[in-house]
Amino acid sequence: MRDDVNKPDTHTSEPAAPSHGERPRRLGLVGFAALLAIGGFVAYGAWSHAQRRSAALETERQQEDAVPTVRVARVVTNSAPRVLDLPGSTEAFDAATVYARATGYIAKRNVDIGSEVKAGAVLAVIAAPDLDQQLLQAEAQVAQLQAAVTQAQSNKQLALVTNNRTQTLVVQGWQTKQQGDTDRLTYDAQTAALKVAEANLQAGEAQVSRLKELTGFEQVVAPFDGFITQRHIDVGSLVTADQSTGTPLFDIAHSEVLRTQIYVPQDAVFGLKDGASAEVRVPEIPGRVFHGTVARNANALQPGTRTRLTEVDVDNADGTLFPGLYCTVRLFIPRAQPVISIPSQALIFNKNGLSAAVYDDGVVRLRKLNLLADNGAEVDVRTGLKPDDLVILSPPINIRDGMRVAASRDSDNVHVGSAESGASAKD
């Protein structure tokens, strides 16, 4: 018998493998635990959502039950003149471009851009030798024509004496009738020749006068008082006196009085009359107001814009303003009848159109509006409101008809639509 039969087994015994029934049981326990965890999470999420929904509903209910405080203003009628600000531009009262009337070269230039000139002052001198020679030639021709007139007068006088003598001799029979006719017709011919000579002299004198006028244009003078705004030539420049392609020499402007052009809209045309006062402001001169007068208008509206060109004359004796400035013209247009004016912040614009919220003993009443004019900070209302209504300023976004609100304590001191408030709003 072998020895290892009686030796003890020194190796550790391995655990027995699970049976086929124990493995599914463990998997079932794990799945059940996972389902319990998922159910817990779902239950917690549902509870949390219910809590948030309940809080939101409570907040919404509180907001619905809350009574917002609003600012209100009492509406009154406005009979003060309508204040209308319009953009405009200044222009010189008189402006002209001086052209050459004589062909030649610039011999002398006395002014430059910005020079102040008086009417009749010599701006430049044109050297025109051809024109001077034409004048001398025309004057010589006039001298010849004057001599021709003198000669024709002598011939006429001689023909008159000869005709008178011949006619006496014909009556006495000492001269033939043919000779009498000849001397009589010769006198008539000399009379006509004198008239021709005199007409030629008048034509020559007219030519001399025209050339003298043209040579007078060799000195270019200012047509009126003003300033030189543009210089187109210099010494030595060739200039021509052609009517269609003449050379411009200078631009001159008279700016002691400025024309300010504006375009008045149709809704203000009928209330604005010539002679009405106006105020002109330039952005670069803050705090300075230039007073003007509505001087003239086009008496017709432009079809494209339905506006009327109007000019306001502004005194500029101190020379503060310049032609070509952008400015703002304030007009004061009388109203045909009092209107209701409200601040623009009281307007509500939505899908239902334009309206305003009226405070009626703690309840909101929405009124649909029909505007007469939009003046920027204020609007004139044609229909929709009546005097003593209380309009809500800057109404809440969720405002609706029948909503309950409370008026703030400082609202009673607010009045809109009065002449004072309209002026302050514009200023």
Look up the CATH number of the domain holding residue 361.
2.40.420.20
Alpha carbon separation from 427 to 74, 414, 422, 423 (Å, rounded): 21, 18, 9, 6
Task: Determine, yes or no, domain membership for 203.
Answer: yes
Query: What's the CATH number where 299 sits?
Result: 2.40.30.170
Please indicate, yes or no, whether residues 404 and 357 belong to a single structural domain of this protein.
yes
Of 283, 307, 333, the position where a domain reaches its end is 333
135: its two tokens: 């004048």
pLDDT of residue 415: 45
Regarding whether 388 and 352 lie in a shared domain, the answer is yes
Query: What is the span of the domain harbouring residue 263?
Result: 254-333
Dump pLDDT digits (tens) for 271-300: 899 999 999 999 999 999 999 999 999 999
> Residue 314 falls within a domain, yes or no?
yes
User: pLDDT at position 64, please?
Assistant: 60
Whether residue 156 lies inside any domain: the answer is yes
Domain count of the fold of the chain: 3
The predicted-structure confidence for 228-257, as pLDDT tens digits, reads as follows 999 999 999 999 887 677 889 999 999 999
- How many other β-carbons are positioned within 10 Å of the β-carbon of residue 97? 13
163 within domain boundaries: yes
Question: Do 278 and 264 reside in the same domain of the chain?
Answer: yes
- Per the DSSP assignment, residues forming a β-bridge with 226 are 117
Contact 255, 93 (CB under 8 A): yes
pLDDT in tens, 196-218: 999 999 999 999 998 888 888 88
**In whole angstroms, what is the distance from residue 307 CA to residue 242 CA?**
40
Q: Position of tokens 């609100």?
A: 405
Whether 143 maps to a domain, the answer reads: yes
pLDDT tens digits along 69-90: 899 988 888 888 888 899 999 9
342 and 275 in a common domain: no
Q: Which of 333, 368, 384 is the last residue of a domain?
A: 333
Give me the mean pLDDT over the 149-174 stretch: 88
Average pLDDT over every residue of 406-422: 54
Would you say residue 246 lies in a domain?
A: no
Whether residue 245 lies inside any domain: the answer is no
Domain boundary among 333, 350, 376: 333
What percent of the chain stands above pLDDT 90?
47
Exposure string for 11-50, b = 16+ CB within 10 A, e = fewer? eeeeeeeeeeeeeeeeeeeeeeeeeeeeeeeeeeeeeeee
Whether residue 12 is contained in a domain is answered as no
